[in-house]
Structure 1
Amino acid sequence: MRRELLQELLWACGPAGQENDVRDICLRELRASVDEMWVDNAGNVVGLLRGDGAADDAAIRVTAHMDELSMLVKRIGADGTLYLTPLGTMYPGNFGLGPVTVLGDRDRLTGVLSLGSEHTTRESERIWETKPDGGDKALDWTHVYVFTGRNVDELHAAGVHIGTRICVERSKRTLVEVADYLGCYFMDDRALVVALLDAAHTLRQRGRRPVNDVYFVFTTSEEVGGIGGAYAARTLPGDLILALEVGPTEGEYETSVSGGPIVAYSDAMCIYDKPVADRLMDIGEKLGLSPQPAVLGAFESDASHAKASGLVARAGLLCLPTLSTHGYEVIHRDAIDAVAQMVVEFLLNEHADSVGTR
């Protein structure tokens, strides 16, 4: 696992629909590993590694998404306060109150995601209703705002307006070590971007072509409906899409952050193809990685959106075991390498007519 690359990606802001900073890193890192590379009309980075002569309909798309959970300016108060709506499924408590980066069209500003003073009474209704000894409501986006310290004219000069993206500020995006684990916001999906880049790099280094053409796709706007992945599924050759994602590690799924890569058999959007999932499980076991099968709820991916929309015939999902998904996420330091190894083996041996053995 290239830790420096992971940290660079974690520091890069990439809200849905504005993944430019992450895209530039992907383009730089992917270039030497593929035969062709381009950015499609949805903003996805696509790299083609040609196979050993298989037909187009056997091509495989492997995706990792570039976007991150973030915020969108819903309205601007007369005093320069920014009011928000989320881009993706999370709540203010997932990020915590603190510094944010406001991505103005002409300048990036620092603001503070704020609730207000705890030293208030019921007269401050918005704050009071979030207190356990008050209204006891969960903290939501109607309760918080971004303090900018700037007036409306200054915000306008920076290019801040309704629809401007806001991200967690860089000071909160630095990797921390927790024994054999690494923690940070936005392992979803930056850790999997690293895994996919490493898989492409390994295939090129080995000098052995995959059986089928492979499209490495770094997608846009996954967190708001799998938009870039769906576009790639519709426009690129092939009938199989394999998504790389973080995977929840909870008792209900019998998954653990200390275990091997998670192979999904279904999620909230679709049932993944059994032969694909079986093949991934077989590969993980062959490599000694202790893969974890899972039937996931409250979960979606580029692959499940594409299959549920009828854009692909076959879909699979391989997940990196992650503690506190959509929060401050924790992964094992060896997990990225494990996912990359499984992807490489899958691509080197996957045939269009492959079937599961379970």
Structure 2
Amino acid sequence: MPPTPLPDLLDELLRTYGPCGGEAAVRDVVRRELEPLADEVSVDPAGNLVALLHGTDRSAPVVRVMAHLDELSMMVKRVDPDGTLWVTSLGVMYPGNFGLGPVAVLGREETLTGVLLLGSEHTTADSTRIWETKPDQGDEAMDWSHVYVFTGRSGEDLAAAGVHPGTRVCVHADRRGLTRFGDFVGGYFVDDRAALTAMVGTARLLRGRPHGDVYLVATTSEEMGGIGASYASRTLPGDLTLALDVGPAEAEYQVTVDGGPVVAYADDAVVYDRAVADALVDVGRELGLHPQTAVWQSFDSDASQSQASGQTARAALLSLPTLSTHGYEVLHSGTVDRTARLLAAFLTRPLPVSG
């Protein structure tokens, strides 16, 4: 079977549910694409997909490249007898990031459709929860205490479907997928499905073999603290964890959405390995990819969380410049390919020595 074109793969990944702790369906898609390209593929005890590509120099340092499987989602906090679901977030986001609308309730026995609601505009201060969020009234930012999921099912029906506190709730399939417009694409969960797509693109370009062994790791629960990445960094060979993730295309960072891949030099958790960052910039410039550089704030990654917890000696981050991170995200249509080309070229060269 011919390989899936990268834009189509991104669209498929965006449409696949993958909340923290429930990433199996996304992992299966990535595994399907990586298995023909890797020397070994396995799933570790943390649920990470691990694909090993042997290098031409088996004595060279090993590199671990990571992109996360999980998406921002919700979790049921309590179930009212009338079937109303009260939810909280899995990962840093707010109801406005998703918008009100249909959601998928991933019960153990059945996946149900519900609707994330605030309530009617045509209400007064008697409806306190709604009134609080009106700009001309309570003027509070809408938070998870203000919204609920209407299911149209009774509490007994939900229990039979395996819905209870702890059940994951995702943006519904009807609202997912890739929107193409001009030179750009958009969708929910470009973070981190675009990076997973770039990882697959990198593997395809590395058929000529990387310099040293490379572990491509699709990780679990990044949005909850880099849990899968920290485990993989501790248990796999090598001293360097290099994360692929989105990065905010915002003026404060001098990063543009139509520019080249972004090499990060620091974020909230760590200062990234300067020798690796410099080498990524140099490779990008040689290839004419116009790499951008950034110091991220209000941000961390699989690599920085792994290093901050003492699970890797060295950390690096290559970001895909993205508008509206943790919202309805927008990416230049050439970004995935440019990121894959830069990373693949970097991995065919000797790993720079840390300064």
TM-score tier, shorter chain, comes to over 0.9
Residue 123 of structure 2 corresponds to 120
CA deviation map 1:246-304 (0-9, x unaligned): 01011110000011101100001111011111011111111111111000000010000
Q: Give the ranges of 4+ consecutive aligned residues of structure 1 lying more than 6 Å apart after TM superposition.
A: none
Paired position in structure 1 for 2:34: 30
- For 1:316, the equivalent position in structure 2 comes to 316
Amino acid of the structure 2 residue aligned with 1:26? V
Report deviation, 1:78.
1.3
Aligned ranges 1:167-316 → 2 under 5 Å: 167-204=170-207, 208-316=208-316
1:131 matched residue in structure 2 = 134
One-letter identity of the residue aligned with 1:11: R
CA distance in 2, matches of 1:297, 1:81: 37
Superposed displacement of residue 178, structure 1: 2.3
Q: Distance in 2 between matches of 1:87 and 1:350?
A: 39
2:312 aligned counterpart, secondary structure: coil
Aligned position for 1:148? 151
Write the distance in 1 (CA, Å) between the matches of 2:350 and 2:193. 25
Q: How many residues align?
A: 351
Distance 1:338 1:72 in 2: 35
Q: 2-side partners of 1:136 and 1:88: how far apart?
A: 24
Measure, in 2, the Cα distance between the counterparts of 1:50 and 1:327: 37
Identity %: 58
- 2:41 is paired with a residue whose SS is strand
SS in 2 for 1:22: helix
Q: What's 2:90 paired with?
A: 87
Matched residues in 1 for 2:209 and 2:96: separation?
46
1:351 aligns with 2:355: no
CA contact (8 A) 2:248 2:321 kept: yes
Distance 1:107 1:336 in 2: 35
Are the equivalent residues in 1 in contact too, given 2:179–2:185 (CA < 8 A)? yes
- The answer for unaligned runs of 5 or more in structure 2 is none
Question: Which of 37, 44, 47 is residue 48 of structure 2 equivalent to?
Answer: 44
Q: SS at 1:33's partner residue?
A: coil
- Cα offset, 1:176, TM superposition: 1.3
Looking at structure 2, the residues matched to 146 and 320 of structure 1 have their Cα atoms a distance apart, in angstroms, of 33
2:101 maps to 1:98: yes
Q: Normalising by the residue count of structure 2, what TM-score does the alignment of the two structures yield? A: 0.97
Question: What amino acid is aligned across from residue 223 of structure 1 in structure 2?
Answer: E
SS state at 2:35 partner: helix
Q: Does 1:158 align with 2:148?
A: no
Letter in 1 for 2:347: L
Corresponding residue SS for 1:156: helix
Q: CA deviation at 1:229?
A: 0.4
Structure 1, unpaired ranges of 5+: none
SS of residue in 2 equivalent to 1:73: strand
| Alpha-carbon distance in structure 2 between the residues aligned to 1:118 and 1:191 | 37
Cα distance between partner residues in 2 of 1:330 and 1:4:
16
User: How do 1:51-62 and structure 2 match up within 5 A?
Assistant: 51-55=55-59, 58-62=61-65
1:96 shift after superposition: 0.1
Following superposition, the deviation at residue 75 of structure 1 comes to 0.5
Find the counterpart in structure 2 of residue 325 from structure 1: 325
SS at match of 2:152: coil
Shift of the alpha carbon at 1:54? 3.4
